[in-house]
Copies of this chain bind each other. A is one copy, B any other.
Amino acid sequence: MNKIYVVGIGPGAYEKMTIEADRALQSSDMIIGYTVYVDLVKEHYPTKIFLTTPMKKEVDRCMMAFEEAKKGHVVSMICSGDTGVYGMAGLMYEIGEKYPDVELKIIPGVTAALAGAAVLGAPLIHDFCLISLSDLLTPKEKIKSRLLHASEADFVICLYNPSSKKRSGYLRWACDLMMEYKSEDTVCGIVKNIGREKESVLLLSLSQLKNTDVDMFTTVFIGNSQTKQVDGHMVTPRGYKGV
């Protein structure tokens, strides 16, 4: 049976990939992905054929992978982070219904929330949510509801896609919503270019975060009521009863 590996390559640096992901790419004839991600891995797999499609051409990219697999090529479809977190794994299954002879093997990776957390310290030690601020495919009302409920229930929150050219005020909007339940002094952190060149990190309060500009390569962390700064790191305790 023809096979496609759907591979999360982690945040970018080669060594943050899993051994399994590396082996899948090594054993593939072709590696398909969004141009930016292909550029991140290309140098490590010099003998492979690379195919790319631009952003927002995800459906084309998936069909390209299935068509190449049908021809008998071993194909890897790559995503940054984890292919199962805001990634291509879901779309691959949906499009794969038309290609019953092609089997998918999903290879998980370190998503930005985990990689960014490791740079900040330990913000995600307790219950947390991931919320994307992109309203490209999700109604803004739904995003609002999730921000409010997650804040009221005192989750640590990690925001993906906090900003883009078209959505420059969204982080400010999200902070205002979260401050309906979270203190303005809540410990927050932002990490830019995780695991890549020019990685940078900043700890700040929720009220400061509200007035901070971030770009689309930034991941944002908002603590729970127990999150604190420990020696310049963002740390959420394991629980509330002891320790």
Using A149-B150, A230-B97, A231-B93 as known contacts, say yes or no to A114 and B85 having CB atoms under 8 A apart: yes
Q: How many copies of this chain are found per oligomer?
A: 2
A110: interface (CB < 8 Å): yes
A34-42, A134-142, A205-213 - the one binding chain B: A134-142
Would A129 and B128 count as touching, CB distance under 8 A?
yes
Interface residue ranges of A107-158 to B (CB < 8 Å):
107-111, 114-115, 117-119, 121-132, 136-139, 142, 145-146, 148-150, 152-155
A124-B129 Cα distance, complex, nearest whole Å: 11
Using A97-B230, A115-B108, A129-B155 as known contacts, say yes or no to A16 and B18 having CB atoms under 8 A apart: yes
Binding site for B on A (CB under 8 A): 8, 10, 13-20, 22-23, 59, 82-87, 89-94, 96-97, 100, 106-111, 114-115, 117-119, 121-132, 136-139, 142, 145-146, 148-150, 152-155, 230-231, 233, 235-243
A18-B19, A85-B125 given; name 8 further pairs at CB < 8 Å. Answer: A16-B20, A19-B22, A82-B114, A84-B118, A89-B122, A94-B237, A137-B239, A145-B153
